[in-house]
Amino acid sequence: MRIDIITVLPELLRSPFEASILKRAIEKGLVEVHFHNLRDYTDTKYRNVDDYQFGGGAGMVLMIEPIDKCITDLKAQRHYDEIIYMTPDGETLNQKMSNQLSMIDNMIILCGHYKGVDQRVRDAFITKEISIGDYVLSGGELGAAVLCDSIIRLIPGVLNDETSALTDTFQDGLLAPPVYTRPAEYKGMNVPDILLSGNFGKIEEWRESKAYERTEKLRPDLLQ
Ligand code: ADE
């Protein structure tokens, strides 16, 4: 998979890709992530990428020209399956979307800033608009990092234990069951006996019932 991220703040985005699972995925060659600074696609003296909005109103808007130049440049080099725009008024990200996006080859992610981008960018180039939740961030960069993390960990070979992404919360529409590790007893708090029994059939049954119980209590909406 190849991900091209267009941003005015590449420095805000680098660190999530320089540690842990994302770093390893890049080192293993399972994903390539490229950052493109929008300011490199403008020839104005001050390299400005935004301007006042027509009709008046507070807040600057990212201009179409540098974005057009950057996207056109990338599209001339390869086919992109999705060109995603990170925006609070996009479709809310969920596990199903991450699963689908983890199966594509090439994607561009455009990070919004200020009041957003000129609507003509959205009309002409964008194939999918994604929000990471009903709150407004200062820009799309942190949302893009969340999106990339949720996608990259699903690419086969990225996680060491192949089954571990499949048993994540949300993967089967339920929250994950509780987990425990050593010691089996800590200050009078005990790990449920069933988990120490070695009876894997019963353990699986227990996990399913706990996942259901937890979902019913914390996220009954998922069961509807
Ligand atoms: N940009 C600003 N707010 C955002 C959000 N909630 N999700 C994605 N991108 C954003």
Q: Where are the domains of the chain?
A: 2-152, 169-223
The angle subtended at Cα 20 by Cα 94 and Cα 27, nearest 5°, is 100
Reported as a pLDDT band with limits 50, 70 and 90, residue 69 is very high
Question: What is this structure's pTM?
Answer: 0.94
Residue 160's pLDDT is: 84
The lowest-confidence range among 26-30, 45-49, 75-79, 124-128 is 45-49
Q: 203 pLDDT band (50/70/90 cuts)?
A: very high
Name, in order, each residue with C-beta under 8 angstroms of 104's C-beta and a sequence gap of 6 or more: 1, 81, 82
Amino acid found at 13: L
Dist. CA 215–CA 217, nearest whole Å: 5
Fold of 169-223: Trp Operon Repressor; Chain A (1.10.1270)
Q: Is the CB of 42 under 6 A from ligand 1?
A: no
Q: Is the CB of 140 under 6 A from ligand 1?
A: yes
- The fold adopted by the segment(s) 2-152 is Alpha/beta knot (3.40.1280)
163: pLDDT strictly greater than 80 = no
pLDDT in tens, 113-134: 878 999 999 999 999 999 999 9
**Residue to probe by mutation, ligand 1, list 89, 98, 115, 136, most atoms within 8 Å of CB:** 136
Residue nearest to atom 5 of ligand 1 (CA): 88
SS3 content of the chain, % helix, strand, coil (to 5): 40, 20, 40
- Annotation: binding site: 112, 132-137
